A = this chain, B = another copy of it.
Amino acid sequence: MELFRVLGTLVCTERIGGLQHWSLRVLEDEKGRRQVAVDPVGARSGNWVFTVNGSAARYAAGDFSVLTDLTIGGIIDYWEPEERRAAASVGGSG
């Protein structure tokens, strides 16, 4: 799954029926590469999200009949360098 920032919403008068009612978001990764994804989680411009690709993207957008290859899987709150499963000690080990 990949990491992207949401840039905005795509407006297309002409598009295939297989994308159904979904709005399409324009995303950009850390290196400036842009992609378009279906958004079932309600991400907003500026949010960092992760995406699911391939056939999983279709189920993530509802069911196999949605003809997307990229779907937003979640909005990222933050990530922590070390897991705190057992105790309070936190620190990156690299």
Binding site for B on A (CB under 8 A): 1-3, 5, 7-16, 18-19, 24, 26, 30, 34-37, 40-42, 44-46, 50, 52-60, 67-71, 73-83, 92-94
Contact = CB atoms under 8 A, between A and B. Distances in A.
B9 A70 contact: no
A79 B75 CA distance: 21
A79 to B, nearest CB: 5
Contacts of A83: 8-9, 44-45
Contact of A76 (B11, B55, B56, B93): B11
A46 B94 contact: yes
A73 B83 CA distance: 19
Contacts of A10: 50, 74, 76, 79
